[in-house]
Every structure is written in structure tokens, then in C-alpha cells.
Amino acid sequence: MINHKGFRYTSFVLGMAIVLSVSIIMPSSAQQVYSTNTSSQSHQLSEVAWSNGVKETPESVKDNVQHDLSHEQITSMTDQFMDNLLQETDNRNKVIHYDTKSDLLGEFEKIAAKEVASKYVQYYFDEQSDGLYIKPTETPPWFQEQHDYDKIKKDDNTVEVVQTNQTDLYGTYTVTFEFTWEDNQWTITSIDHN
């Protein structure tokens, strides 16, 4: 014989579990995935996204995209910046791959604002009639990939990375990088070391 009270209770509990599961799953599945093509300079949305049941146009979705700055991006960009400073030279400190400061600045501008890179190019390089020369000196206090740092979101398009390090040459120092999302990529827009 079937116990109707137990059957109803079990059915009720099962029904509630299904309703709760569906209500939790639906909001996340209602937002459809869209892809961005980071190799080009513009976002191309492959699908129209749904947010809270409201259909959004590709333009409004693009405006809502969150740009996360990853550890790998921070490391890659700070490494590239330092690699640009440490140019290959001949035995007279003449830079091999660039003839002018302007040419070298063009390489920096792939990852950093011109105003930021210009300070370093002016300080570390000397342009002469026969080419570009690196001034023999120490590199600046810099980002250390293996050390902890703070990543501070200033706004939707600006992140500040602050790291304190200690070296024999500089003692204890703090380096601060500002990264700004512009033209569909992260760019170093400020560097400060104390």
C-alpha cells in the first residue's frame, strides 16, 4: 500500500528542488556567450547577448565588456618594456637594430604611451649622426614577476599595479605602473619608482 503523505512530501521536496535549480541556472544561461577578436583592433561580437532577459545590441554589449588585466599581461608588458631598454649593441654601445630615438619610440609605443616611453628613451639613449647609442648605466628599479604586488582597479579602463621590492643596488623601492585599456588593448600609461 502506498503512503500518500510520504509520497506527497517527497513530490513537494522534489518539485521545490527542481524549481530552485532552474531559477539558479536560468539567469546564468540566459546570458549568451559572445567572442572578441583581440588580434584585430575592434571587438567583433558573434552573438547578441541577453542580460536579465533584455536583448542587447552588439554595440551595447561592447560597452559593457570588462577588461581584466592578467598577471601574464602585466609580466609580458613590463618585460617587453625592459627588453626595449636593453638594446643589443656593438662594442662601442651603438644600438644595432635602431638608428634613431624616434625609431625606438615606435617600438615602445606598441605597449606604452609615447609620453611614458619618451622619458626613458631620452635618459638611456643618445642619438648621434652615425646612429643611436645606449648610455652605460643601470636599469631602473623594475617589476619583479616572482614578487607579490597590489592590483588596484581605478575605473573600468584603468588598473594600477604597485609592487615593493628590495635589491642590493636600490635597497627597498616601490614601482607603480598604470595600465589603461585604450584602442582595444592594455597600454602602460604611467610608471613611477621611489
pLDDT, tens digit, for every residue of 14-65? 444 443 343 333 333 222 222 222 333 333 333 333 333 333 344 433 444 4
Burial string for 42-63 (b: 16+ CB within 10 Å, else e) reads ebebeeebeeeeeebeeeebbe
Q: What is the mean pLDDT of residues 6-13?
A: 48
- Count of domains for the chain: 2
Q: Could you tell me if 79 and 159 lie in one domain?
A: yes
Residue 121's domain comprises 71-193
Do 169 and 113 lie in one domain? The reply is: yes
Are 59 and 95 part of one and the same domain? no
| Percent of the chain predicted with pLDDT > 90 | 62
Question: Same domain, yes or no, for 134 and 165?
Answer: yes
